[in-house]
Amino acid sequence: MYRTVRNLALALMTLALAAGCAGLGQKDKMTLEDGKIILRVTPASGLSISLKTGTGELQLATGEQPAFELVGAGGDTIPFRVTGSERIEAPAEGNLGAGKGLRLSLAAQSAPALSGVTLKADLCLYESIPGVVIGRVDGAGLGAEALKAVGGTRFYALTARADLAQPGAAPYDFHLFQGAGYQWGKWYTKIKLTANYNAPNWTVCHLPEQQEGGGYPFNYLWTRNGGLALAHIDTLQRVAALPVKTLTDGEVALAIEQPTEFLHPDENGHLAGLPVMIGVFEGDYFAPLRAWGRLLQRDGFRFAEVPEASYEPIWCSWGFGRDVLRDDIFRNLPVVKKLGIPWVVMDDGYQVSVGEWPLRKEKFPQGDADMRALVDSIHAAGLKAMLWWVPMNVQTTDPLMAAHPDWVVLDRQGQPKHEKYWDVSQLCPAYPPVIEQQRGLVRRFLKDWDYDGFKMDGGCLGMVPPCYNPAHHHQRPEESCEAVATLFRAIQEEAESIKPGCVLEVCECGLPHNPYKMAYYNQEVTADPVSSDQVRARIKGYRALLGDRAALFGDHVELATGPYRGQEVEESGHDFASTLALGGVIGSKFTELVPEGVKSDWRQYKGTRPYWEHWYSLYNNLQLYKAEYLNLYDIANDLPETHVVARADTLYYGIFAPAGGFSGSVQLHGLKAGMRYALTDYADDNRPLGEVAGGEAAALECKLEEHLLVRAVPIP
């Protein structure tokens, strides 16, 4: 009964708001709208945000609380109220063209210490990217005295309600794509919010308890009917948080926050704000990530070009762990060659320590000469050699730490950030000697040892904390955060000068990747997925962000355990379909392939030869990495989970069963009305599945335990 009364009250409030704003077009100084979004500045100085649909307006953010606040030195929030507004013509924003928008003037009304502080918020629409508002908040009057009363900024504070977009839902009943991540293996692509959800979402290592993490300055909340995105679109990695918190009344609070230490007003007290994206979308995170990726590339910044070699499948020595021997690799070269796998990865285990990367004498008694001989043998087999390493880090026991202890990042207390799993501290990428040392390693690996590409790996690659090392003479401590991309650019430049078109793979283990360095490597990895559905969810996210030309490695197939819950960390998987069907790059870390009928021991990473041969043949023949991903299904709300890619007029569907299997009808979106299609199971010798007429009613009755891969070919 309480729920019914509350929903009725909310509905009446929404109707009243709509009636009060009816007829407010672009001439109204408190409303922005285009064909997809309506943004209203409310009497509370908040932002009410709605998605336009074919049947009306879907409200996602209420605007009941002020959207622009400063945080006091004691942690209290100081709301700023709108004191004036005007229409503006926005100048051209890179490749977006010119825009139109609102300029809000704001001031604090109950903070004497901030009486001279004002904010100017520009909120603009661009015809070239409908449904998205680009914002920027500048401050004035933030001199030294005023800053003493300020602990930070909290801008674009939004309160979202799922029950406004989806009647009958709880206010917090959203799925969340959360760009920040702190712990290996945890979900970030598809989080179901709860009544007590609370995540600070720092995208650099700012909190004392953070050992690893980082990711995107991007959040997206969605229901079956619509979703709301908030992200900053600066092309430098800033010290910022994008918290998501369920409030006591069930509403979900979003914002972008920055501590005062990292604000840096100029000598006149003027603060230049971050460029920000507020957007409304239908469906899951694909469309907002695609829009965000476009905005990051609006003016100069570009994701890396991808060479053909980045799509080639991979075999990795990590199945043997750190105990790998050269003979383990030699023994598998004929098998790798027969499977049509061009790449052989020398993974962790060849080195004594991280930093200067001295070789283990018991494995390479002749040092560099023995390593070069290993690579020569791989090349003699007609294969390519890739080297695993961890840039930007140094172990405590490495000679580099003994020689240059002053190169590491230090926190405010003068202590290095220590990552326990790797036993490493981070080298400061904003310190020039570090860059030169890393360039020297690239020359050693690619020129002296003759490797053809890199697997750069570790949860410690995505973010570096602010650096307070006095030896580095930083003007700002966050220069270290911003320079992560600079270091990877140096690696790319050096590598390309030696091996043009080389594959540069980055795997930030179990975590969302730092997007700012994506301009400087050409193979993305799903990065230690713990289940098949994580493989698919991450591939879809990276495909959205980076585009259809991106090379997306699904990681070792042994990590893709299918729909079988309870096996997520056993690495007993053989689910090639979750990568192949989405256009990803396949790979394995098998130690041996045994004949069919011989029991395969996953603990030794032994695969079945005919099965591996089947999937590698499919991959090489179909080349679905050349396909276009069609965003026609919601990964959270359309069941069974379905993906579709297109090559010319042929569509390839990947249908994936939940735990327990699936039996029923699956809608086949994307088939053109007026045409008929022949359906086959392309993973099972093109087994016929019948014919279907295109259009909205196109569907397939099926029963599956794991997956069904369907090819739909037009019938002339």
CATH code where residue 326 lies: 3.20.20.70
* Spatial contact of 218 and 233, defined as CB atoms under 8 Å apart: no
Is residue 584 located within the same domain as residue 709? no
* Spatial contact of 590 and 615, defined as CB atoms under 8 Å apart: no
| Closest listed residue to residue 559, CA positions, set 313, 322, 319, 311 | 319
State pLDDT tens for residues 159-179: 999 999 999 999 999 999 999
Cα separation, 712 vs 682, in Å, equals: 10
In a domain, 566, yes or no: yes
Q: What is the pLDDT of residue 20?
A: 35
Cα separation, 590 vs 578, in Å, equals: 18
More confident residue, 427 or 599: 427
| Closest listed residue to residue 450, CA positions, set 377, 376, 370 | 376
Is residue 162 located within the same domain as residue 255? yes
Is residue 18 located within the same domain as residue 69? yes
In a domain, 467, yes or no: no
Would you tell me how many other CB atoms lie within 10 Å of the CB of residue 434?
26
Q: What is the pLDDT of residue 422?
A: 80
Residues 6+ apart with CB under 8 A from 648: none
Residue 567, pLDDT above cutoff 80: no
Phi, psi dihedrals of residue 362, rounded to the nearest 5°? -70, -20
Structural domains of the chain, count? 3
CATH code where residue 42 lies: 2.70.98
For 28-37, what is the mean pLDDT? 92
Burial class of residue 249, CB neighbours in 10 A (0-12, 13-18, 19+): exposed
Q: What is the pLDDT of residue 21?
A: 38
Is residue 241 located within the same domain as residue 291? yes
Residues 6+ apart with CB under 8 A from 396: 423, 424, 425
In a domain, 242, yes or no: yes
**Strand order through the sheet with 628-630:** 628-630, 641-647, 650-656, 707-714, 676-681, 687-693
Q: What is the pLDDT of residue 4?
A: 39
Residue type, 513: H
In a domain, 407, yes or no: no
| Closest listed residue to residue 539, CA positions, set 185, 306, 548 | 548
Is residue 318 located within the same domain as residue 440? yes
Which of 234, 263, 296 marks a domain boundary? Answer: 296
Is residue 28 located within the same domain as residue 162? yes
Q: Does the reported pTM lie above 0.75?
A: yes
Q: Which alpha helices (DSSP H) does 91-232 contain, by range?
A: 144-147, 162-165
Averaged pLDDT of the chain? 92
**Strand order through the sheet with 393-395:** 393-395, 424-426, 418-419
Buried b (16+ CB within 10 A) or exposed e, 404-415: beebbbbbeeee
In this structure, which long-range contacts are made by residues 162-168, counting pairs with CB atoms below 8 Å and at least 24 apart in sequence?
162/221, 162/223, 162/252, 163/7, 163/10, 164/10, 164/14, 164/58, 164/59, 164/60, 164/62, 165/51, 165/58, 165/59, 165/60, 165/223, 165/225, 165/226, 166/223, 166/224, 166/225, 167/7, 167/11, 168/7
Is residue 642 located within the same domain as residue 664? yes
In a domain, 463, yes or no: no
Which of 627, 661, 680 marks a domain boundary? Answer: 627
Can you read off the two tokens belonging to residue 689?
């599945």
Domain membership of residue 577 as a residue range = 312-391+432-458+477-627
Cross-strand bridge partners of residue 281:
227
DSSP structure string for 529-573: -SSHHHHHHHHHHHHHHH-TT--EE---GGG--TT-TT-TTT---
Q: Which alpha helices (DSSP H) does 355-511 contain, by range?
A: 368-380, 399-403, 432-443, 479-482, 484-498
- Cis-peptide, bond into residue 640, ω within 30° of zero: yes
Which of 612, 627, 642 marks a domain boundary? Answer: 627
More confident residue, 181 or 339: 339
Q: What is the pLDDT of residue 185?
A: 79
Residue type, 168: G
Q: Which helix (H) or strand (E) holds 60?
A: strand 56-62
In a domain, 496, yes or no: yes
* Spatial contact of 309 and 246, defined as CB atoms under 8 Å apart: no
Is residue 248 located within the same domain as residue 380? no
Is residue 436 located within the same domain as residue 562? yes
Is residue 249 located within the same domain as residue 143? yes
Residue 599, pLDDT above cutoff 70: no
3-state secondary structure of 210: coil
Is residue 345 located within the same domain as residue 488? yes
In a domain, 408, yes or no: no
Q: How confident is the model at residue 19 (pLDDT cuts 50, 70, 90)?
A: very low
Q: What is the pLDDT of residue 428?
A: 98
For 643-659, what is the mean pLDDT? 97
Q: How confident is the model at residue 601 (pLDDT cuts 50, 70, 90)?
A: low
In a domain, 640, yes or no: yes
Cross-strand bridge partners of residue 41:
47
Q: What is the pLDDT of residue 558?
A: 92
CATH code where residue 703 lies: 2.60.40
Is residue 651 located within the same domain as residue 611? no
